[in-house]
Each structure stands twice: as C-alpha cells, then as structure tokens.
Structure 1
Amino acid sequence: MVLKNIIRSAALCLRTWSVFSNVRQGNNTLLGFKHTQCCSYMNWTSASTYKGDETLPGQPVRQYARAVRKKQEFPSQLQDLPPSLLKPEYASIPLAQTVDSVVKKLLTLEFANHSEKLHMKEEQLIAKVRRDENDHSSTEVKVAILTARIRNFQEHLHKHPKDKANKRWMLMSIDSRKKKLKFLRRTRYDAFEKVCQELGITYSIPPEYYRRVTRRWLAKKAFCNKVFKEVQKQKAEQRETERSSD
C-alpha cells in the first residue's frame, strides 16, 4: 500500500513537471488555451534568452529607474602633495633619511591620514605668505590657514551636500577670512595683494552701506520718496510765483 502511494505521487509530480516545461517552451495546447499576454508573464524565465534590453513580446515596458547623474569631479587641494614626502614631525630628524626603505615608507604621506595631509597643506600655504621664518600669528598666516580649511570644507560638501554642520563652519570661516582681508587691505595693501596672488583668492569689495530689505523699510522708503517729490514740486511752484511777481 505504501509503495503504491509512492508510485502515484511520483507519477503526479512527473505529469506536473511535463506540463510546466511545455508552458515554458511555448507549447500551451496541453492546458487548453492559446498564447496570450498573460502567458508572457508566465514565461518570464525565457527573457534571459533575448539579447540586449529586449523584452518579451506583448509585455509592457516599464521604466521606473531614473537616469543616474554623474557628479563632476571636484579638484582636491591635496593632489599636489607627493606621496614620497615625509611627515612634518619626521622631516627635521636626520635618522629618518637613513632608515630602511620599508620604515621610511611608513613615515611618508602615503600612509598619512587626512588631517596630517591637511596640516601639511597649511604649512605649505603659510610658507608662501608669512613675513619671516618665526611668523606664526600674523594676519597673513591666519588667512592661509583659513583658506586651507575653507577648501577642505568645499571638498567635503561636494561629496556630502546635506551636511549642515560643515556648511555652517565653512560660512563662519569665510566671514572670518573676509574680515582679516578687509583689515589687511586697509593697513598693508602690498601684503594684501601678495596674499591674494599667492593663495589664489578673488576678493570682492563689499558695499559701503548694506541693509536687510524688509516690507517696512520698502514702504518707508517709498513714502519718503513721495514726500521728497512733493516738496520739490512745491518749491518749484514757489520759485515760479516769485519770478512772476518780480
């Protein structure tokens, strides 16, 4: 009895498998209906036999995915740093020049983190604008440090545009650099020109008077202009009357 049940179940499985294999190959006569659009959905496994982006015949094409926009590459300020350059803390040690090549490679910028490379870039910009070798706190040095940090914030925001905290720090650094450049332009104009030329800064002169535009201010300004025109009109009429009386 058990053997008979096993044989019946095996025969049923083979019959079911043969029917579905015929449907997959396009032979739908065993099921008693013709090939329609619904059969094309059942025959989805045969879509891999089509070339390119072709779809099954009679199947609607749906395009849900949007075209991927490639971001433009933002040039990094750390690209000009050679990887074979020693780190600043090891550059002044004479023993670092005579060690093994493997150890020396570990002391170079090739294995340095981002903060160490940024510090190295700050030192390079400071060397271009500082007054002497012992200058570490002048206005020119502060402008060079802020310039390196602002460019670092710009690179980060290009990759992560929704980082509001870094955007706030970048805007604060830009305002601080503007104040220092304005002071340097007023006190030492030759140093101001040198800093802008060496660091590649484009300085735009701020307006002498700036006021935030509000509705109240616009209404007040329009009223004042109207009163001024009315006063000028009355004065002109008064002059004409004086000339006619003379």
Structure 2
Amino acid sequence: MTAYPMLVAVHVLVGAVALVTFWTAGLLRKGTPAHRATGRVYLVAMTGIVLTGAPMAVVRWLDGHVVTAAFLGYLVAITTTGVWVSWRAARDKAAPQRFAGPVYVVLAVVSLMSGAGVLALGIKVGAPLLMGFSSVGLVVGTDMLRRRRRYVRGDVTPRWWMVEHYTAMIGNGIATHIAFLGIGLPRLLPGVDGTVLHYLAWFGPLFVAIVAKLVLDRRWKPRPVRVPAPARGA
C-alpha cells in the first residue's frame, strides 16, 4: 500500500471514531465526566481528520484536481475552526478576552475568506454544491468577527461559552456527517449513490444542524430583556 492510500485509510478510521463519539457525547448528559471524556476523544479524532485531510488536499492539487483540492482545503479550514472554538470556549469560559485573541481572529478571517473563495470557484465552474456550501464559512467567519467585539469588551452572558461550544460542535457534526454520507457511504455502497442522494448527503446535515441550533438556542441562549416603555406624560 502506497502512502496516499494509507493516508486515506487513517482518515477514514479517525472519521469513524469521530462519527461514533459525536453521537455518544451528544446523547450523554451534558457536563458529566462521561460527556467530557467522550467529547475529548471526539475532538482528538477531529484533529486527526484535519491532519490527514490537509495533505490529501495537497495531493489532489498536485494531481490536477483543483476543484476537489480546493473543497477539501475548505473543509479543513472550517473544521479546524470548529474544533478550536469548541475546545477553547470550555477552557476560556472565565476569560472571553483571551478566547477572542489572535488565534480566534485568524480562524475567523480564514473561514470568511475560504468561504468567499469557494463561492467564487462554484460560480466559475457552475457548481451549485460549492456555491451553497460556501455559506458555512461566510456565516461562521462574519459571525465570529461580530461577536469578538462583545468579547473584547467583556459584554457577555454567564453562558456565552456554552453557546459557543455547542454551536461549534454542531458545525463539527456537519463536517463529520457530510464526510460520511457524501464521501464514505457512496464508496461503501455504490448502489445508493445518485444525484438526489448526493445533494441530500451534503445539505441534509446542514438543515438538521440549523434546526438543532434553533432548538438549543431556545433552551440555552439568553433572551433579550424587554424594557417597559415609559408611561405617557412621565
């Protein structure tokens, strides 16, 4: 077995670990030792995905598969951002200014620029998949830079870190499931591949993630406080 197939095999292996531990951590009670331990294994597996995915993108680029290489690089960028944010949010929950430091800014800019690059590439080659999925990097990068202003001022709620953590973990889940449904499953079961399934595999996890984000925000995200209007004549 040559180096590249071995790299792919390791990538698939750590991806399988990530898929299992994502759901295990998600179903366990939040904050328990089991949840934290499983979450750490998941983040280590996701780190393995990043470390194996980056050279895979380089190899595809050298082979002349520019579109595939660009998209793999994009997935590496947004996955790196999700892994770092989900980890540091829990570590820096008492220090939002430290959380929003230089690494946070670099990752936000990389997410934003890579999303813009994939959008431009999708328009150039006429690929709706690239155009649609570019929204992840664009939204993530823009939202991170917007929130950073609050973190630097210390204008945060007590559970700000939890919102950051589960939002990043949802993003990680998108990458995990897209890799499995859109890339791994068709190779394991070629008979299930097809145009409709192809787009469902890519945009299905994105839709589920949006719903999960709305549900979790409803439970954990602080609601704005209404200030009663002054009485007339006061």
How does the TM-score come out when normalised to structure 1?
0.28
Higher relative contact order, chain-length normalized (CA < 8 Å, sep 6+) = 2
How does the TM-score come out when normalised to structure 2?
0.30
The structure with more radius of gyration: 1
